[in-house]
A and B are shown apart, each in its own frame.
Chain A
Amino acid sequence: MFSRIRTLIHARNLEFFRDRASLGWSVAMPFFLVFALALAFYGDNKPLFKVAVYQPSAEMTAKLNPIFGLEHVHFYTTDNLQRAIDKVARHQTDLLINLNPSTASAEQGYWVNIDSPNGYFMEKLLKQVDPNLKRHDTENHPIRYIDWVIPGVIGMNIMFGALFGVGFVIVRYRKSGYLKRLNATPLRPVEFILAQLVSRLFIVVFLAVVIFMISKWILGFAMNGSYWLLLLVTILGSLSMIAMSLMVTARVSSEELAGGLLNMVSWPMMLLSGVWFSLEGAYPPLKYLAQLFPLTHMLDAVRAITIDGAGLADLTQPILVLSLMTLVFIVIGAYAFKWSDD
């Protein structure tokens, strides 16, 4: 019995090690993840709190010196007060301080989201320095973490459905010779790709809508904008990620290689697109990298609709970016597409 098992292990090892493309990715992928994560979360003392300071002055710095010297708190300056308030409301920043004497006295003080545990602790610390500082709540109806994170979770679900639901199917079709049979018909690559795109789009969007509606009904998270606009952004985001999957697997005929490639795309997207946490205060290169991912633009737009009630005019940029990404991915995918691995 052990002899048979040993022979089977050997055969499987040969299969794995002789598939150089898969082997390469199996080795490269962990390295990539290790270095990408190390870059994203570099340093032993990752800040526990993020505090924005509006136009700091020398006087203010002196006043707040006791808390500015605290470890594990990341202070950053901002020149846009309203934007900074929005970030506190969205749990992207724990506290906002404005002690600039040049601003109106009504705008001085600090902003905190009453639903934020981190904000609660930073507020306690700030009060130790000056108990008379004026407190501003972020808005009339504070945004809970769940309001911020649920769109991210649904977006992540769309991402996995789009990337793996299409990529692996294409690779399986190619490996089994089904694509070769289709190539013997007048069907063109772009027709095949569009058919896969639309089919998967329907499934992914349908599931996202069902999950959204049930979650909203049970959890009652914020939805301050237009449902139709939300559907449009969801469709565009899904389309771009399906097209991305088609592009990535346009020439691949090994499931292991496809898995490596799709992981290489999905993991950075999951970490950097703001699914679970904001990249506020992260290294600027990471923020630029995140802009290359369709999920980043989709989540920004979805949160703008659900949390801020943004309209079509406010979302011109993400809509254009997602449309352009979809187009580019489809064109590259159709150009690079191979029916068979011959």
Chain B
Amino acid sequence: MTAIIEVKALRKEYPKLIAVDGIDFAIEKGCCFGLLGPNGAGKSTTIEMIEGLKKPTSGEILFNGVPMNSDFKKVAGIQFQSTALQDFLSVSDNLTLFRSFYDRHADLQDLIADCDLSSFLEQDASKLSGGQRQRLLLALALVHDPEVIFLDEPTTGLDPNARRQFWALIQKIKAGNKTIILTTHYMEEAYLLCDEIAIMAKGKLIARGTPDTLLAQHFGDNILELPTAALGAYQPKETHFHKGEKTEIYTKDMNQALRGLIDSGIDLTHLKIRSRTLDDLFLELTNKDTEEKVHV
């Protein structure tokens, strides 16, 4: 696979802040790349530098092996988390307007069908529901059949049903061998859609790889979840966290952990067993876990 975008020693400084601190990564063509991180980690600044909306303080961004220039906007489709559109323009008017900015065009009827816009095509864009609006914004990002698509928290604020519809739409775009760069706070979304993720914190890249590889690298254990009251005075040997009324026990040896619980006469009626998720990885890496760690 060849890298469509390469970021080398990218840095962005403001007078009192280093927003991005010399990061490197490459994105392969046709890949869905997830850039994750807590608020203020520098991911939006990184994305906006790649999009050409902000100038880096130093470093280099290559597109297809050559330094990026203003022509990149012709092949990039961008959906911001929230974008105001012109008042009193219908969905159809907005599509026409944004199509006019490009020389290359996607088939409009296919786009309307793919983004499911046909039922409100003549409706004022300012009166759309959250899901409809996000689908329109995605369609505006796709009007010119871009090679690279940036999706900035595209499902924030959507209800679960609308979010799943949106995921299906993104998977359809992925199937067309488009390169997608996604930022999201929903780890479930990143796990489902992304082929590769990178996690940023304090302007630096702190992890990068496929979701499963990263989970295997950082954990390799499972979690037993029990009501704290059911444990009584029992202190598990394994690492465990009290999370209010529940306690989570982290173990690489499930048999031994279960045996310890059974031998101590713990009631396992409400026992839940789950694998590690990207949420766990995110919290682990970004030091956002504020829960009380009682034993390592």
Are both chains from one complex?
A: yes
**Chain A residues positioned under 8 Å from B73 (CB to CB):** 184-186
A184 to B78, CA, bound (A): 7
Q: A178-B85, A180-B80 known; A185 and B70 CB under 8 Å?
A: no
Interface residue from A173, A180, A186, A339 paired with B101 (Cβ < 8 Å): A186
Q: Which residue of B lies closest to A191 (CB)?
A: B101
B51 engages A177 (CB within 8 Å): no
A186 engages B74 (CB within 8 Å): yes
A184 to B144, CA, bound (A): 13
Q: Is B84 interfacial (CB-CB < 8 Å)?
A: yes
A177 engages B84 (CB within 8 Å): yes
**Chain A residues positioned under 8 Å from B165 (CB to CB):** none
Chain A contacts with B in 253-297, Cβ cutoff 8 A = none
A187 to B70, CA, bound (A): 10
**Shortest distance in angstroms between A169's beta carbon and chain B's nearest beta carbon?**
10
9 nearest interchain CB pairs? A176-B84, A184-B78, A185-B101, A181-B83, A178-B84, A186-B73, A186-B74, A187-B101, A177-B84
**Shortest distance in angstroms between B215's beta carbon and chain A's nearest beta carbon?**
33
Q: Which residue of A lies closest to B51 (CB)?
A: A184
Chain A contacts with B in 160-192, Cβ cutoff 8 A = 173, 176-178, 180-187
**Shortest distance in angstroms between A241's beta carbon and chain B's nearest beta carbon?**
23
A184 engages B84 (CB within 8 Å): no
Q: A186-B102, A187-B101 known; A178 and B53 CB under 8 Å?
A: no
**Chain B residues positioned under 8 Å from A340 (CB to CB):** 53
Q: A186-B102, A187-B101 known; A181 and B70 CB under 8 Å?
A: no
Contact with A along B54-97 (1 / 0, CB 8 A): 10000000000000001101101010101111100000000000
**Chain B residues positioned under 8 Å from A173 (CB to CB):** 84, 86
B53 engages A177 (CB within 8 Å): no
A340 to B71, CA, bound (A): 20
**Chain B residues positioned under 8 Å from A130 (CB to CB):** none
Chain A contacts with B in 288-342, Cβ cutoff 8 A = 339-340, 342
B82 engages A177 (CB within 8 Å): yes
**Chain B residues positioned under 8 Å from A185 (CB to CB):** 73, 98, 101-102
A176 to B82, CA, bound (A): 9
Q: Which range contains the number of A residues in contact with the other chain? A: 10 to 19
Name B's interface SS: loop
Number of interface residues of B (CB under 8 A): 19
**Chain A residues positioned under 8 Å from B101 (CB to CB):** 182, 185-187
A225 to B70, CA, bound (A): 50
**Chain A residues positioned under 8 Å from B71 (CB to CB):** 186
Q: Which residue of B lies closest to A188 (CB)?
A: B70
Interface CB pairs A-B, < 8 A, 16: A177-B82, A178-B83, A180-B53, A180-B80, A181-B78, A181-B80, A182-B101, A184-B53, A184-B76, A184-B78, A185-B98, A185-B101, A185-B102, A187-B101, A340-B53, A342-B53
List 6 other contacts, CB 8 Å, given A178-B86, A342-B54: A178-B85, A180-B80, A181-B78, A181-B83, A185-B102, A186-B102
**Shortest distance in angstroms between A107's beta carbon and chain B's nearest beta carbon?**
63
Q: Which residue of A lies closest to B143 (CB)?
A: A185
Chain A contacts with B in 202-228, Cβ cutoff 8 A = none
**Shortest distance in angstroms between B15's beta carbon and chain A's nearest beta carbon?**
14
**Shortest distance in angstroms between A176's beta carbon and chain B's nearest beta carbon?**
3
Q: Which residue of A lies closest to B73 (CB)?
A: A186
**Chain A residues positioned under 8 Å from B53 (CB to CB):** 180, 183-184, 339-340, 342
A181 to B86, CA, bound (A): 11
**Chain A residues positioned under 8 Å from B70 (CB to CB):** 186
A340 to B73, CA, bound (A): 17
A280 to B78, CA, bound (A): 58
A339 to B80, CA, bound (A): 15
Q: Which residue of A lies closest to B150 (CB)?
A: A184
Q: Which residue of A lies closest to B45 (CB)?
A: A342
**Shortest distance in angstroms between A182's beta carbon and chain B's nearest beta carbon?**
8
A144 to B63, CA, bound (A): 70
Q: Which residue of A lies closest to B83 (CB)?
A: A181
B83 engages A177 (CB within 8 Å): yes
Q: Which residue of B lies closest to A182 (CB)?
A: B101
**Shortest distance in angstroms between A104's beta carbon and chain B's nearest beta carbon?**
67
A339 to B48, CA, bound (A): 13
* Candidate in A176, A180, A186, A342 with the most chain B CB atoms within 10 angstroms: A186
Q: Which residue of A lies closest to B141 (CB)?
A: A184
Q: Which residue of A lies closest to B78 (CB)?
A: A184
A186 to B80, CA, bound (A): 16
A172 to B210, CA, bound (A): 42
**Chain B residues positioned under 8 Å from A184 (CB to CB):** 51, 53, 73, 76, 78, 80
Q: Which residue of A lies closest to B103 (CB)?
A: A186
**Chain A residues positioned under 8 Å from B98 (CB to CB):** 185
Contact with A along B10-22 (1 / 0, CB 8 A): 0000000000000
A185 to B146, CA, bound (A): 11
**Shortest distance in angstroms between B50's beta carbon and chain A's nearest beta carbon?**
11
* Candidate in A176, A180, A185, A187 with the most chain B CB atoms within 10 angstroms: A185
A245 to B117, CA, bound (A): 37
**Chain A residues positioned under 8 Å from B83 (CB to CB):** 177-178, 180-181
A342 to B45, CA, bound (A): 10
